[in-house]
């Protein structure tokens, strides 16, 4: 069985030291840019290099997060940063953006890449796709069960990393636009304001509670099962938390990774005391999801008052050097020759010659035991002698101070050589932003529906394409077949292992029967539909031209851009394949594995469902196609009817109208306004990020 890795978070250097000294095998942290925890202290370049070196001198891996969406205007800075990380000896980068993945493979080909959980990889085919793209490790979605993780491990070769402890997001990571759309703080840019931690009511109930606030994950009882099932790395969440939290969680998990045994009540109490968001849950690992996973009345309760003594005890690890690398040495003292100390650390060997030549002893001469005792004083360093030999000619003398200098200088040289062994040669591959634009075609109009009755309303309208969920097609073949040459089959945003084969098989039957193409929202479906017309949805989070080029090479025919981009960013973007934007509709802002409506004691899969925040603002809730998976829609409709001339002048290949809670009459009226210039007005609407965009 492979040795599993305990991976700890570090929001600052104190947390990093706490993680290492408490027993972490690896630490992940971010620089000042491109990290998904923008409000952590994070590391400037000098601090980052110091952190990497600190880890390597203690046999700990250092991973750096580059896991935000990146704009074209930032690509040159990103490339310089990637070269710096590679040269600094970082063991891997963790990425979300497909454009970053593509650039990293080109600019720093020797720097390993880990796919962030922000990529929303949740099935076998998603892992397989990234394997082919050169990704070494995949951080799986938190929503997967232990059973599903085992299935993925048995059918793929990439390293698998799972979150084992810490905060759980209400939405699948990478699929949340909640904070971005209601407050302008993008989770995809590391600035999430956590609106899911606020109180809501369900379906106009008078009762308000924290119905979207999940308890923190505690997976300590799954360590043995997951390691046997192929998980290589156990990841602790918490780059926004303090050093005491890091020390506590790493220390407890280290204990049970090394010695899988029944977890004691005392250790559970440590975890509950150092951070407790209304209790803990084993998350989705057991497949027993539901109301017990939530903390509706106690969403946030960090450091309890009685933990001050515990916190002090935990922070004491920072002052101690408990991570020692074993080294061996040989000291040579000869008459009229420079003293020599040879040190070995694995494959790394150094020889240090001291500039002070021993004198003839006037009284007590040097002896082997004295020299060994003096040279072995490695306290305060990350080294520890496993053995040391001494070769001394009789009658020589050298002071204790000089012996200390020999030890210090030799260890300093060894330290430098160890650090150098991780650094990579900077090949200075230059950034190439020359991506060709595709031929510009007249802007197409696309209509997407979510209800059966909407199909009848729009079928005879002059849309260039219809995006229709596969379930609606199957229930209405007599209507859908009349439009199949214009119909793109919409698959659910999330397709778990148990759902994947059924949905893809049904879609291929329709495609082979003449349906035009398929809409996908996840890279796991790209290879599955090779040879067919594949359209990419906005959930692919495309924010730069390098992501577009990546998808073009992968076989995507056209893709909808991230709704977080603005007019200027879209205009300046090179477009190697046709791109689109949503110009009408309620944007989905959360995709949740948990049925949040059930938290209100009922689970009505049909009918109108909603949540209402503390300000009285209501957000409709629908299903993910026919799957009972909650999708929260924005409270306001995006309406860009007045911006159509502007949109057509920025090389947008298609625009999409998205109908959710609209009646058939609404669908016809709104469609007519966009297609024919008919009258339509919305009292309370948003232009989304079209005029602002994220920064």
3-state helix/strand/coil string of 146-173: HHHHHHHHHHCCCEEEEEEEECCCCCCC
In this prediction, residue 261 carries a pLDDT of 86
**Nearest-angstrom CA–CA distance, 627 and 567:** 34
302 by DSSP, 3-state: which? strand
691 falls in which pLDDT band (50, 70, 90)?
A: confident
**Numbers of helices and strands, H then E, in the chain:** 21, 31
Q: Does residue 598 register a pLDDT over 80? A: no
Rounded distance between C-alpha atoms, residue 401 and residue 374, angstroms: 9
pLDDT band at residue 302 using 50, 70 and 90 as cut-offs: low
Kind of pairing, strands 654-658 and 579-585? parallel
| pLDDT higher than threshold 90 for residue 351 | yes
Which residue bears the tokens 């084992």? 164
For residue 277, the model assigns a pLDDT of: 81
Digit-coded pLDDT (tens) for 642-663:
999 999 889 999 999 999 999 9
Contact 396, 333 (CB under 8 A): yes
Q: Which residue has the tokens 């394997």?
A: 131
Residues 174 and 541: beta-carbon distance below 8 Å: yes
Per-residue confidence (pLDDT) for residue 106, from 0 to 100:
92
- Rounded to whole angstroms, the Cα distance separating 94 from 27 reads 12
Residue 88 phi/psi, 5° resolution?
A: -75, -10
The confidence score (pLDDT) of residue 307 equals 64
The pLDDT of 241-245, averaged and rounded, is: 93
- DSSP string covering 489-533, please? EEPPS---HHHHHHHHHHHHHHHHTT--EEEESSGGGTTTTTTSE
Model pLDDT for residues 257-301, shown as the tens digit of each residue: 999 889 999 999 999 988 878 889 999 999 888 888 998 886 565
Distance, in Å, from the CA atom of 41 to the CA atom of 322, rounded to the nearest integer, reads 25
Would strands 26-30 and 61-66 be described as parallel, antiparallel, or unpaired?
parallel
pLDDT of residue 29: 96
Report whether pLDDT(306) > 70.
no
Closest CA to 464 of 645, 647, 649, 653: 653
Contact 565, 587 (CB under 8 A): no
Per-residue pLDDT tens for 441-461? 889 999 999 999 999 999 999
Question: What is the structure's pLDDT at 297?
Answer: 83
Mean pLDDT of 314-320: 87
In 3D space, the residue among 53, 73, 71 whose CA is nearest the CA of residue 62 turns out to be 53
CB of 19 within 8 A of CB of 250? yes
When pLDDT is averaged across residues 355-383 and rounded to a whole number, the result is 93
Averaged pLDDT for residues 183-189: 87
| pLDDT of 291 | 87
Q: What local confidence, expressed as pLDDT, does residue 271 receive?
A: 93
428 pLDDT higher than 70: no
Lowest mean pLDDT of 288-297, 494-503, 507-516, name the range.
288-297
* Percent residues over pLDDT 70 in the chain: 95
For 531-541, what is each residue's pLDDT tens digit?
Answer: 999 999 999 99
Point out the least confidently predicted range of 286-290, 349-353, 683-687, 690-694: 690-694
The residues near 626 (Cβ < 8 Å, ≥ 6 apart) are 469, 471, 492
Tens of pLDDT along 79-115?
Answer: 999 999 999 999 999 999 999 999 999 999 999 999 9
Q: Grade residue 187 by pLDDT with cuts at 50, 70 and 90.
A: confident
Q: Would you call 574 helix, strand, or coil by DSSP?
A: coil
Q: Is the pLDDT of residue 344 over 80?
A: yes
Mean pLDDT for the chain overall: 92
Q: How far apart are CA 679 and CA 10, in angstroms?
A: 55
Sign of CA dihedral 410, 415, 418, 423: negative
| Cβ count within 10 A of residue 130 | 24
Residue 241 in this model has a pLDDT that exceeds 70: yes
Label residue 578 by pLDDT band (50, 70, 90). very high
Average pLDDT over residues 48-62: 98
State the pLDDT at residue 37.
Answer: 62
Identify the band that residue 601 occupies on the pLDDT scale cut at 50, 70 and 90.
Answer: low
Residue 695's pLDDT band (cuts 50, 70, 90): low
Q: Which residues lie closer than 8 Å to 104 by C-beta, 6 or more apart?
A: 66, 82, 93, 95, 111, 113
Q: Which residue has the higher pLDDT, 313 or 330?
A: 330
Q: What is the mean predicted confidence (pLDDT) over 369-381?
A: 93
Please say if the pLDDT value at position 248 is more than 90: yes
Q: Can you give the pLDDT at residue 604?
A: 57
**Residue 246 pLDDT class (50, 70, 90 cuts):** very high
Ranking 203-217, 243-257, 304-318, 357-371 by mean pLDDT, the lowest is 304-318
383 Cβ partners below 8 Å, 6+ apart?
324, 325, 327, 345, 411, 414
| CA dist list (Å): 67 to 85, 101, 190, 433, 548 | 14, 10, 8, 21, 17
Where do runs of H (alpha helix) occur along 133-277? 146-155, 178-183, 223-228, 243-258, 265-274
How many angstroms from the chain centroid is the CA of residue 676? Answer: 43
Examine the pLDDT at 315 and tell me if it is beyond 70.
yes
Write down all domains in the chain, each with its CATH number in brackets: 5-168+216-262 (3.20.20.70), 325-422 (no CATH), 444-586+637-686 (3.20.20.70)
Q: Encode pLDDT of 8-32 as tens digits.
A: 999 999 999 999 999 999 999 999 8
Residue 431 has a pLDDT of 67
- The β-bridge partners of 328 are 344, 387
pLDDT of residue 597: 81
- Residue 82 is predicted with a pLDDT of 96
């Amino acid at each position: 069985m492979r040795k599993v890795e305990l991976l700890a978070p570090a929001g600052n250097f104190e947390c990093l030291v706490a993680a290492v000294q408490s027993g972490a095998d690896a630490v992940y942290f971010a620089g000042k840019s491109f990290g998904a925890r923008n409000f952590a202290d994070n590391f400037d370049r000098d601090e980052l290099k110091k952190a990497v070196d600190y880890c390597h001198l203690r046999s700990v891996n250092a991973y750096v997060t580059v896991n935000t969406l990146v704009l074209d205007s930032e690509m040159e800075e990103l490339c310089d940063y990637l070269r710096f990380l590679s040269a600094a000896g970082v063991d891997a980068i963790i990425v979300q953006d497909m454009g970053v993945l593509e650039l990293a493979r080109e600019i720093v080909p020797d720097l390993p890449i880990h796919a962030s959980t922000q990529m929303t990889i949740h099935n076998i085919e998603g892992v397989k796709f990234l394997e082919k793209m050169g990704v070494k490790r995949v951080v799986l979605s938190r929503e997967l069960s232990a059973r599903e993780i085992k299935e993925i491990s048995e059918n793929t070769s990439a390293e698998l990393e799972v979150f084992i402890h810490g905060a759980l997001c209400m939405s699948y990571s990478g699929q949340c636009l909640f904070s971005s759309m209601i407050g302008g703080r993008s989770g995809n840019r590391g600035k999430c304001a956590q609106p899911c931690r606020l109180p809501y009511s369900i379906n106009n109930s008078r009762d308000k509670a924290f119905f979207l606030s999940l308890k923190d994950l505690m997976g300590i009882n799954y360590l043995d099962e997951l390691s046997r099932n192929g998980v290589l790395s156990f990841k602790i969440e918490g780059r926004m938390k303090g050093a005491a939290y890091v020390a506590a969680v790493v220390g407890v998990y280290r204990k049970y990774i090394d010695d899988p045994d029944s977890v004691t009540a005392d250790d559970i109490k440590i975890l509950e005391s150092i951070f407790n968001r209304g209790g803990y849950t084993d998350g989705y690992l057991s497949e027993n999801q539901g109301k017990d996973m939530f903390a509706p009345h106690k969403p946030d309760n960090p450091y309890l008052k009685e933990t001050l003594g515990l916190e002090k005890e935990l922070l004491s690890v920072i002052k101690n050097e408990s991570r020692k690398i074993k080294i061996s040495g040989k000291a040579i003292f000869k008459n009229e020759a420079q003293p020599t100390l040879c040190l070995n650390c694995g494959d790394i060997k150094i020889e240090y010659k001291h500039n002070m030549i021993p004198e003839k002893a006037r009284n007590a001469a040097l002896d082997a035991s004295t020299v060994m005792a003096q040279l072995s004083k490695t306290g305060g360093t990350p080294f520890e002698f496993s053995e040391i030999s001494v070769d001394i000619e009789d009658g020589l003398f050298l002071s204790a101070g000089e012996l200390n200098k020999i030890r210090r200088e030799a260890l300093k040289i060894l330290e430098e050589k160890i650090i150098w062994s991780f650094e990579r040669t900077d090949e200075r591959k230059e950034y190439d932003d020359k991506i060709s634009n595709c031929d510009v075609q007249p802007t197409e109009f696309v209509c997407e529906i979510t209800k059966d009755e909407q199909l009848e309303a729009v079928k005879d309208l002059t849309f260039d394409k219809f995006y229709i969920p596969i379930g609606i097609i199957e229930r209405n073949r007599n209507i859908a077949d009349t439009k199949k040459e214009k119909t793109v089959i919409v698959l659910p945003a999330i397709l778990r292992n148990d759902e994947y084969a059924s949905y893809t098989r049904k879609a291929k039957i329709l495609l082979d029967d003449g349906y035009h193409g398929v809409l996908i929202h996840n890279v796991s479906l790209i290879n599955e539909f090779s040879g067919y017309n594949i359209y990419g949805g906005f959930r692919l989070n495309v924010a730069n031209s390098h992501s577009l080029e990546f998808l073009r090479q992968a076989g995507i025919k056209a893709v909808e851009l991230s709704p977080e981009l603005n007019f200027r960013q879209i205009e300046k973007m090179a477009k190697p394949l046709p791109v689109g934007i949503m110009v009408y509709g309620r944007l989905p802002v959360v995709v949740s594995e948990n049925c949040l409506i059930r938290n209100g004691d009922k689970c009505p899969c049909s009918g109108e469902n909603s949540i209402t925040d503390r300000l009285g603002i209501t957000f409709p809730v629908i299903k993910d196609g026919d799957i009972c998976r909650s999708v929260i829609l924005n409270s306001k409709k995006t309406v860009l009817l007045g911006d159509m001339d502007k949109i057509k002048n920025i090389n947008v290949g298609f625009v999409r109208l998205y109908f959710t809670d609209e009646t058939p009459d609404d669908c016809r009226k709104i469609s007519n306004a966009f297609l024919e210039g008919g009258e339509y007005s919305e009292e309370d609407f948003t232009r989304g990020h079209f005029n602002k965009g994220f920064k």
